[in-house]
Amino acid sequence: MSKENMKAYWKQNLQYLAMLLSVWFLVSYVFGILLVDQLNVIKLGGFKLGFWFAQQGSMYVFVILIFVYVRLMNKLDKKYGVDE
C-alpha cells in the first residue's frame, strides 16, 4: 500500500469516526440531557422519550453504531485492499 493510499485510508477512517461519534453525542448528550424536557412530552412504551434516551436509547444507538462502523470499515478495507 502506497503512502498516499495509507493517508487516504486513514483520512476516510477519521471521517467515519467523526460522523459516528457526532451521532452518539447527539443521542446521548443532546437528546438525553439538553432536550430531555421537550422529549418528555412524547411517550415510548409507556415511558417519557427523554427518560428513554437518557437510560436506554444512547446504549442502543451505541451498539448500532458499532455495527455500522464495522460495516463501513469492511468496505473501506476492501476498497484499499487491506481486507483479510
User: What pLDDT score was predicted for residue 2?
Assistant: 85
What confidence tens digit (pLDDT) does each residue in 25-81 have?
999 889 888 988 998 999 878 888 888 888 888 899 999 999 999 999 999 999 998
Per the structure, the complete domain to which residue 27 belongs is given by: 3-79
Residue 9 pLDDT greater than 90, yes or no: yes
Q: Helix, strand or coil for residue 49? A: helix
Q: Is 84 contained in some domain?
A: no
Q: Is 41 contained in some domain?
A: yes
- Count how many domains the chain has: 1
| Contact indicator for 74, 13 with CB cutoff of 8 Å | no
Burial of 58 (0-12, 13-18, 19+ CB in 10 A): buried
Q: Is 65 contained in some domain?
A: yes
User: What pLDDT score was predicted for residue 23?
Assistant: 95
Q: Is 49 contained in some domain?
A: yes
Q: What angle do CA 76, 15, 71 make, to 5 degrees?
A: 35
Residue of 14, 28, 26 whose CA lies nearest to 60: 28
Q: Is 25 contained in some domain?
A: yes
